[in-house]
Structure 1
């Protein structure tokens, strides 16, 4: 059995655990997780704003875990005075940005190290024609980018 200290394949682990396939929750759990009433969720499904997951032999609706974030984002904009149509525009813009940022990090992450104290350091590859390396550190929830020559 490998020790925690010898584990170094963090990038594969991150890609594996961030997959959303097969993770579903029911309507009552979605209500609890977001604070949005079931009647509002049904309306959003009818309007195509959120989509339940097709689960064979299930009568009740199930949602992917990504829908939790989508519903929370919609609610955030509604709670801040946006109309539903305007909230959806912003949520869709954010979704595109979110996917692009995930892809950028997944595509460019070359190394990830986690210190005993939980600090994280990520190498995002070379920049400036290979003369420097872009790095990201995360300490106590605060992130910092820097270059290393």
Structure 2
């Protein structure tokens, strides 16, 4: 189920102007235009006379690039790290989305239900701040 279906909020409709992003993230409009020219970020299609605008997905990418630049990476390396991180996040989201069955309780503690695994049931639990898996007979 998508975020829009769950929340009723279409994050693609969250749109920010270049000056808003510049102020929020302390990245100059000139830098943003350069990143766009190099293909590291994309603005929404512009109409004549309008300033650049970015959707929420682009803003998240900009935040990531800025983070890695602040860590000392080059622009190309920062953009590459953000791309790889996004791919990993998508894989995690898809995997958990397919396996997650809900939340239940085991011994009075909340447990994430990841469904059947052979003749057992797989759960994820937190034990003293550590994530662990538990297998239980069906």
Q: Please, what TM-score do these two structures have when normalized by structure 2?
A: 0.74
Count of aligned pairs between the two proteins: 131
Taking the aligned partners of 2:5 and 2:131, their CA distance within structure 1 comes to 22
Is this contact kept in 1: 2:12–2:57, CA < 8 A?
no
Aligned to 1:126: 116
Aligned to 1:70: 61
Taking the aligned partners of 1:24 and 1:58, their CA distance within structure 2 comes to 17
Give, in angstroms, the shift of residue 41 of structure 1: 0.6
Which of 1 and 2 has higher RCO (CA within 8 Å, sep 6+)? Answer: 1
Aligned to 1:85: 76
For structure 1, which runs of at least 5 residues remain unmatched after alignment? 1-10, 114-118
Give, in angstroms, the shift of residue 132 of structure 1: 2.4
Structure with higher Rg: it is 2
Taking the aligned partners of 1:46 and 1:143, their CA distance within structure 2 comes to 44
Cα root mean square deviation, aligned: 3.3
The superposition leaves residues 16-38 of structure 1 with CA deviations (integer Å, 9 ceiling, x where unpaired) of 34853222111122123322111
